[in-house]
Every structure is written in C-alpha cells, then in structure tokens.
C-alpha cells in the first residue's frame, strides 16, 4: 500500500465516488481549478469537468441550500465549507432543512445523499476564525451524522462511507493533520463503518477517549503514563452522532475510569454528553470521577494557542489523577 497523507486520502475518496457515480458533485469555495484552500480537491475539475466539480460564491448558506436542493432531486452533493468556523451562516440550512427534510415529508423526500466536508480545529496558528471545533453544536440535531477521522486510512474509508450513506453526514477533517498525518492507505475502494468506535489499544487501568486530531495527542500521553506502569485503553470515537455508547461502556466497566478529551471548549462540549451517559450506565463501576480535558471557555486565541489546546501533558495529568483519586 502506498504511504500518503490525509489530504491525498480525502482526494482519493472523492475521486472514487465521482468515478463510480455520475450523480456525485463536488463544489464549494475555490474547490475547482484551485483545488480548495488546502488542495483537497486538486485535479478533480480537470478529470470530471466544471459541471461536476465547481466553485460557488462565498456564501455558506447558499452552498448548503444548493446542496439540499440537489440532494432532494437525486444528486449526491459533496459540499465543502472552507473552514468549520464558516459553517455558522449555514446553520439554519443544516439543522432546519438538511436534518429535517425526510422527517417533515413523511419520507416522501430526503436529502440523505449529501455530505458536508469541512476542516476543523487548531494547530495551524489560524486564530479565532480558523481554529474552532463546532461538532457539539450539530450533535444536538437529530437527523444528522457527524464523523471525524484521525488519520489518512480512516479519512478515506469513512469519507467513502459518508458519501454513500443514506443520511446526511457532516465530515469534520482535522486540518493540522492534513499533511502531518501519513500512513499506508489502499489505492482501491473500501469503507469503514459509521457509528462504530474503535478500540485502538487495550488496557486495564483507565479508558482514554477522543476523536480526530486528539488521538495523536492521546497517544503521546499514554506513552508517558505507561512509563509509570499505568495501563490505558484507548478508544477513537470516530462518529460523534450517532456515538457508540456500547463500546465505551464495555471499556469503562473493565477499567472503572474514563478520561475524555476534545479541542472544543469545555462547557457544552460533547465530552459532557459522554460523561453523563457513562455515569448513568456505569455508576457502580466507576473508581473515580470522569475527567474532561478540553479547550478553554474562551474564544480561540492566536498567541496563546498552545496554552489553549488540550495537549499530552494535560491528558497525562488527568490520567494519573484519575488513577490516584
């Protein structure tokens, strides 16, 4: 298998989907000849023409409204929002139209074929308008699926699954890993399951849970903890909505401890939902309080980005504090 980065894996996934089905359309701001601001859609317009891969005006509400209309008529839109921070003008379209279209029509119509790709998160010195992690806003919306890959292999397999999924999918891509994360990825077509977490590493003392770019950070924290004799079980949630409760519960019933980490601010972050569910289902098995290692409850800073982000040292401290509670 060739070694490629996450951007190349995403490009391959969209390429395979477009080659397989003429109804798949790729559009967004500068995605055509320019290949997108990160070059995730490079050469797709050359290969499939301007009718299937094209630029849109700089209007996010219009991009998603257009995607809803296309999907309702049988097309399979893969719409790009250039940065997840820019998704908020399209919030109404996503939560009030995309998510509800099938329900409100009694299944006469649906927009299930649409996928919304968008880069999220910090780590690129992007400041407060290019670094946010807004997944929790959409996790409150029945009718959507939310997927976050951690590496190139996961990105390709999950994106192909998202494009073919019968429900609308928000696909959040960790932008700081676009070129930093590389790995062996099959050249051909494959899919990974949406809605299933993956136990990356088995352990006995504490469960450490995250998604997307935080999985790399977790790995470094776990290496530190293991030098202290702490056995960590590591889980990549992969899908925020619907999230895989059973896999996390099974792990916590074994370890008795849970540390959850995400880049988004602490208050209202998705870690809170996970913690509430796990304490309901595992209360008598918990050996210590569930701990959250998250971003801060402030706008995302530029100069103090490293202080804001939940790094491996903060996660390591949470692991050791959980064990010695």
- Whether residue 46 lies in the annotated active site: no
Over the stretch 90-130, which tens digit does the pLDDT of each residue have? 999 999 999 999 999 999 999 999 999 999 999 999 999 99
pLDDT of residue 46: 97
- What strands lie across the sheet with 198-201, from one edge to the other? 198-201, 232-236, 206-210, 258-265, 291-295
pTM score > 0.85 for this model?
yes
Query: What is the C-alpha to C-alpha distance for residues 52 and 167, in angstroms, rounded to an integer?
Result: 21
Taking the alpha carbons of 84, 302, 151, 263 in that order, is the dihedral positive or negative? Answer: negative
What CA–CA distance (Å, rounded) separates 174 from 178? 7
Alpha helices (runs of H) in 90-147, residue ranges in sequence order: 91-92, 101-104, 135-139
Please state the φ and ψ torsions of residue 232, each to the nearest 5 degrees: -105, 135
**Predicted confidence band of residue 1 (pLDDT cuts 50, 70, 90):** confident
Half-sphere CA count of 95, side-chain side, radius 13 A: 13
Residue of 166, 144, 147 whose CA lies nearest to 156: 147
- Which among 275, 196, 290 is positioned nearest to 243, based on CA atoms? 196
Contact in structure between 200 and 28 (CB atoms under 8 Å): no
The single residue of 29, 60, 80, 216 carrying the catalytic annotation is 60
Q: Which of 130, 154, 262, 312 is catalytic?
A: 130
| Mean pLDDT over the full length of the chain | 97
Percent pLDDT > 70 in the chain is: 100
pLDDT in tens, 241-286: 999 999 999 999 999 999 999 999 999 999 999 999 999 999 999 9
- Token pair, residue 5, equals 């980065």
Known catalytic residue at 245: no
Asked whether 249 and 278 are in contact (CB, 8 A), the reply is yes
Confidence (pLDDT) at 44: 98
Residues in the chain: 325
pLDDT band at 36 (very low <50, low <70, confident <90, very high): very high
- Distance of CA 219 to CAs 151, 208, 226, Å? 13, 10, 11
Task: Work out the pLDDT band at 238, boundaries 50, 70, 90.
Answer: very high
Cβ proximity of 219 and 124 under 8 Å? no
Q: pLDDT digit string (tens) for 159-211? A: 999 999 999 999 999 999 999 999 999 999 999 999 999 999 999 999 999 99
> In whole angstroms, what is the distance from residue 74 CA to residue 258 CA?
43
Cα separations (Å) of 67 from 32, 43, 73, 134, 143?
A: 16, 21, 10, 20, 16
């Amino acid at each position: 298998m060739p070694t490629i980065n996450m951007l190349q894996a995403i490009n391959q996934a969209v390429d395979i989907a477009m080659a397989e089905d003429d109804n798949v359309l790729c559009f967004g701001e500068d995605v055509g000849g320019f290949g997108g601001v990160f070059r995730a859609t490079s050469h797709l317009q050359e290969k499939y023409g301007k009718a299937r891969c094209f630029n849109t005006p700089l209007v996010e509400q219009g991009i998603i409204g257009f995607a809803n209309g296309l999907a309702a008529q049988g097309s399979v839109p893969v719409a790009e929002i250039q940065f997840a921070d820019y998704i908020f003008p399209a919030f109404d379209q996503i939560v009030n139209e995309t998510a509800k279209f099938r329900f409100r029509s009694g299944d006469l119509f649906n927009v299930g074929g649409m996928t919304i790709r968008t880069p999220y998160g910090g780590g690129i010195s992007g400041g407060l308008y290019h670094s946010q992690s807004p997944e929790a806003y959409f996790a409150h919306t029945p009718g959507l699926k939310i997927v976050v890959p951690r590496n190139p292999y996961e990105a390709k397999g999950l994106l192909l699954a998202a494009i073919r999924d019968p429900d609308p999918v928000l696909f959040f891509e960790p932008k700081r890993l676009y070129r930093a994360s590389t790995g062996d990825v099959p050249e051909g077509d494959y899919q990974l399951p949406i809605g299933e977490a993956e136990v990356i590493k088995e352990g006995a003392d504490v469960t450490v849970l995250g998604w997307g770019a935080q999985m790399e950070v977790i790995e470094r924290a776990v290496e530190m903890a293991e030098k202290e004799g702490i056995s960590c079980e590591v889980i990549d949630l992969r899908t925020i909505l619907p999230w895989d409760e059973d896999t996390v519960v099974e792990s916590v019933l074994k370890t008795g401890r849970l540390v959850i980490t995400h880049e988004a601010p602490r208050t209202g972050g998705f870690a809170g939902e996970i913690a509430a569910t796990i304490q309901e289902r595992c209360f008598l098995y918990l050996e210590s309080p569930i701990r959250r290692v998250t971003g801060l409850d402030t706008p995302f800073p530029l100069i103090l980005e490293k202080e804001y982000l939940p790094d491996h040292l903060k996660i390591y401290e949470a692991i050791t504090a959980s064990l010695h509670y």
